[in-house]
Amino acid sequence: MTVGGKKAPEDFSVLELLNKGGLRLPQMTTAERNNFKVANNALGSGLTIYNKDTKCVEYWNAIRWVSLCEGASQSTLGPVPCTDIKADGSGCDQPFVVTDPDCPNGPFTIAIVAGSQFASLSDVDLVNGSFRISFQANETIDAHTVLVRVTSTCTNMYKEFLFSQNGVVCSGNYSIPTVTATGITLCSGGSTYLSVPSTTANLDKLIWTRNGVEVARGVNNYAVTQPGKYNVSMGAIGCYTNPANEKNITASGTAYAKTLSAIVTNSGVICGTNTVTLTALLSSPETVVWFQDGVERSTSQKGSPNLVLSGDAAVGKWYGIIVDGTSVASSSCLSQPSNSVIVSKSSQTQQVTVNAADALVNGQPLANFANFCKGGSLDLSVANKVTGITYTWYNGANPITVNPFQIPDSQAKILLRLVATDNSGTACAGEVNSTEKDIITAVAPVQPNITGSAVLCGGTSDLTLVPAQPGVYSYTWYKDNVKMSETTATITIASPGSTYSGTVSNASGCSSPMVSKQISTEVSSLPVLSWISKPVSGIYGGNVTVQTGIEFGPATSYTWEATNGAVITGTGASVSIKYPATGADGGTVDIKVTAENVCGKSAPLTLSIPVNNSCPTPSLAPQGSASPSITVGSSASLGVTVTNGVTATLQWYTNTTASTTGGTAISGATAATYQYAPSGSGTAFLYCVVTNGCTGKPTGALLFTVTTAADPATITPGSGTFTGRTTFDVNESNFNAGCGTADARGGVTVKADFNQLSTYSQAYIFTPSGSVSKIRFVYVESLSGAIVSSFSSATSETALNQSSPVIATMIYKTTLSSPQGQTTGLARGRTDANALSVDIYVIYNDKSDGTGVDKKLRLNAKIKDCQFCGAYIAAGVWKTFMCHNLGADTSKDPFTPDLAIGGDYYRWGAKTPIATSYTPAGEINVSIWGEFNSYKTSLSNWGGNQDNSTIKGPMDPCPDGFRVMNVAEVAGLMKMNTFVDVGVLGSTAMYTNAQIGGSRVVGAPLYFQWNGYRSNNRGLLLYRGAQFNYQVNAGYSDASGYTWFNSYTSSRSKDLWTGATNMAVAAASSVRCVEQ
């Protein structure tokens, strides 16, 4: 037909407009268009409008609105955009190149303007106008379209290109389960609950959707917290979907943000015919509805928040919700779910028996105790313990790891539990618990203070618990978290290195928070002084340096006095004394010095110096060794101490012979110390001449012989053992997640205080393998001359036929640590990035008669203000571990459970990881993982097949100085240490950050996270949050299997597990590196 005239329509025409005004389309804004009810209406396909916002004609293609405004650019795309991309994202891998006759040389801007949730651009070259497009897998039956806009900067015009991806073709033959809704009205802060039968076939293929978008899969229930239309599909979104299953969850606007948590007795294990009890922890009495595997099972009315379970039918995952009525049916609001607890059935029939009277809180049976005071502390103990049973206290579901336990301020109620676990696994765990009790508002005493010296003086120290407020109190003391028998305010202690703690309790029975005092490992006494250097006589107008030695140091202060107008310069152990300018021969200057430490003040040390007018000859003594041995690349610190110096001048010389005459003056070397840095190996001679400035200008000289060995790093490694301390944390600052909190770093018990003899003097022991000769010890400092004062051995460097251990003593400089009350230590503030280090070498001739070749062994000592991680692996043998797993976020605290410190997963013998902590838990794509049972490796990749192998193989992934730990080290770690579990303990595979825990070595800075492992079956993640698995460097002789350091899910025991097939070697687990 025609409109606007009588002319017959032309061929092929259905409608012709003769009116010159044209055809006016419906006018809509974008908002009006979006509210237009066209979705899911087949009649709407092809509907066309004019968008007043974009000023474009748009049409509905049954999926979305498509703009016809491609832009005015003449750009073309070669090849043409893909419009038949496969659902898995393949089929459009080629590069696309823009051609624009108006802008032949570019540049262009290229961007996705619609559909960026479906695809992304890569290899974008804006100058030449090329790009690639990558589509994600489309897991729905609907097509995905993406619009790419190319703008030519020459003309500022654009053109848009449409790419299209096919939807999934429904496959399989799945039965559609029925969806059940528990509530369809959603209160603010609350939830509603959807479920399908837990016996649904092919549950792993089930997908929950909200408004057509996936929200969960592979589970039979879903807790709804957002309004919308919910349904389930099977296999892919939109496949095997029943419209009758759709649940339209609407928001009511009523606020209902109530919360609860759930606990279960006996760790949820039903033993034989016994029962377990579910308990809802609530802030006030509420009606609680219990769900099993997402299905409503039972209701507990107000005042009775417990549910007793027994038998096989109780097995499953349980959680509770709060309702505002007496049942779900009578309620308008449902809360969000509690945490889930697992109930399982054990084949064992025996259960550990726990006598309720043996569970003691502040000395009273748990059932009778009621003084849960806000902010107070509780002494938790067990009477009549049974051998082979482990007893663990819980605050609700959370294990209590310290005693006394301080009641959290955030809690209004408390439920204490004592769980007794059979270490042999023969019997089920038993439990004693209180009902949930109110925390009373009676205020607990404020934390007291402990006064008294932290250093044992004369072997003892008196500590006093001082209450913060006046009143009548009883006193409880603990030593290393074990309750003591003492009940007085003041006790006398005699154990260095221990931690003493205490609480005070008032007449109401409320106990204060615990206060602790760490006792130093050093035992001291009143300081005793002696002279190290002192003059025999002096000259009027001259200077002299005197130095004292101290027993039971260091001193906190020195006090010096001098008579007859002598002037003292300095305040430490060494001072300079300026004699009076004039006086009679035979006069004296009397010196007196006292020292004070934490134990008190020393007796005075005195010295009477005769003073005359004649000009004396200066006397020289070396500061340190006069014959130091160093290596190429390091330097020797030479120094002299002058006695009888009068207005003295100094000059250093080099010489070609061992003589103090005929040498060459060193320009500018006129101080009492000189840093000598040789250019090569050999023996050098230097001397210092001191000239007095008085009449006659007498002189004195001192010869130094410096032996410089070749760089020991170039010497062939040898055999035998070389041991000694190599890790020093000065523990002065950097108390943070990266370097460790003060608690994690152990306080003064592990502090490397170089002011103390036990730290600055270290023995390094070389035990030869067989008979050797010419044993020498040398070192190379990272900061030349700043770390080591001396390194010497009593054994001659020319001795032959040596087979017994040889000891060398290294004296570190006390300036590495800050003096008490100061912040001047050289190592203070240093982290891993700028740690000080010393390469310590023993060099020996490998023949007993000295006719062989030199071999060496090396230790690397590191000094920093940051934690070292490690533990003892044999008596007196400390092993340093990296604090974090390989691939972990090292800015995170390595002792706090966190997904970020999980690190990467490595197959045995691989240099690079196969997965990270954030890799999805399901199977890994075959292009990355490989075909089943196809992974192969070489025995030499890591460490061979010896349990004690210290070899670092060519594919070892650990950084320089570290390697994968060996079997012997892990066996020693398990034998010498106890592990305690921290974080949230699971019993099956878990994948979220909140559910991750781990095992920490008691008394040592070392933590292993329950990362689980990626199974040999295409990399499926198993047992994260339930057990740990760490690689060990020993493989089978044919490289078909390897050893794991493993914690078992069920018993939490630690063990070495060996896999004996290619399936085992294909699996991947965590790597923790140890120091080489």
- 350-442: CATH topology: Immunoglobulin-like (2.60.40)
Amino acid at 643: T
258-348 matches 76-165 in CATH topology: yes
Instruction: Specify whether the CB–CB gap between 596 and 636 falls below 8 A.
Output: no
Helix (H) or strand (E) segment spanning residue 297: strand 295-300
Determine the CATH number of domain 715-868: 2.60.40
Q: What mean pLDDT comes out for the span 125-143?
A: 92
- In the prediction, which pLDDT does 994 show? 40
812 within 8 A of 725, measured Cβ to Cβ: no
Residue pair 817/678 in contact (Cβ under 8 Å)? The answer is no
Nearest to 813 by CA among 830, 800, 826: 826
Q: How far apart are CA 784 and CA 825, in angstroms?
A: 16
pLDDT tens figures, 894-907: 888 888 889 999 98
Q: Mean pLDDT across the chain, nearest whole number?
A: 86
Distances (CA, A) of 460 to 454, 490, 491, 673, 972: 10, 13, 10, 42, 35
Q: Can you give the pLDDT at residue 1055?
A: 55
Q: Angle 237-238-240 (CA atoms, 0-180°, nearest 5)?
A: 105
pTM of the model: 0.42
pLDDT tens-digit series, residues 619-656: 899 987 788 878 887 788 899 988 888 889 999 999 99
Residue 553 reports pLDDT greater than 90: no
Q: What is the pLDDT of residues 83-108, one digit of tens each?
A: 999 999 999 999 999 999 889 998 99
Handedness of CA 780, 781, 785, 788 (dihedral sign): negative
Phi/psi of residue 994, nearest 5 degrees: -65, -20
Q: State the sign of the Cα–Cα–Cα–Cα dihedral 463, 464, 468, 474.
A: positive
In which band, very low, low, confident or very high, does the pLDDT at 1050 lie, cut at 50, 70 and 90?
very low
pLDDT of residue 993: 42
The pLDDT value given to residue 1021: 86
Average pLDDT of the residues in 590-619 = 90
- 283: confidence class by pLDDT, cuts 50, 70, 90: confident
* The predicted structure's pLDDT at residue 130: 95
* Residue 1040: pLDDT over 60: no
DSSP string of 145-197?
A: EEEEEEEETTTTEEEEEEEEE--PPP-S-PPPPPPEEE-SEEEETB-EEEE--
Which of 879, 865, 900, 861 shows the shortest CA–CA distance to 1001? 879
Burial of residue 210 (number of CB atoms within 10 Å: 0-12, 13-18, 19+): middle
The correct answer on CATH 2.60.40.10 for the domain covering 258-348 is: yes
Residue 985 has pLDDT above 70, yes or no: no
In whole angstroms, give the CA distance from residue 195 to residue 184: 12
What per-residue confidence (pLDDT) applies to 900? 87
- Torsion 207-208-210-216 (CA) sign: negative
Predicted confidence at residue 1035, as pLDDT, reads 62
Q: Which stretch of 490-499, 540-549, 930-939 has the lowest confidence by average pLDDT?
A: 930-939
Q: What is the CATH number of domain 528-612?
A: 2.60.40.10
Task: Give the pLDDT confidence of 725-747 residue by residue, as tens digits.
Answer: 888 999 888 887 678 777 667 65
Query: Smallest Cα–Cα separation from 154: which of 124, 117, 129, 191?
Result: 129
Q: How confident is the model at residue 1037 (pLDDT cuts 50, 70, 90)?
A: very low
pLDDT of residue 241: 94
Residue pair 745/729 in contact by the 8 Å Cβ criterion? yes
C-alpha distances (whole Å) from 953 to each of 405, 558, 719, 943, 966 are 48, 56, 18, 5, 12
The mean per-residue pLDDT over the stretch 560-577 comes to 93
The structural domains of the chain, with segments of one domain joined by +, span 16-67, 76-165, 180-255, 258-348, 350-442, 452-481+498-524, 528-612, 619-709, 715-868
Confidence of residue 1062 (pLDDT cuts 50, 70, 90): very low
Minimum mean pLDDT among 5-19, 141-155, 369-383, 477-491: which range? 5-19
Architecture of domain 619-709: Sandwich (2.60)
**pLDDT beyond 60 at 991:** no
- Segment 180-193 mean pLDDT: 91
CATH of 76-165, one of 2.60.40.60, 1.20.1630.10, 2.60.40.10, 3.10.290.10: 2.60.40.60
Give me the residue label for tokens 């100094």: 650
Q: Which of 47-61, 431-445, 895-909 has the highest mean pLDDT?
A: 895-909
Superfamily of domain 180-255: Immunoglobulins (2.60.40.10)
| pLDDT, mean of residues 808-816 | 92
Identify the top-confidence range among 301-310, 324-333, 497-506, 697-706.
697-706
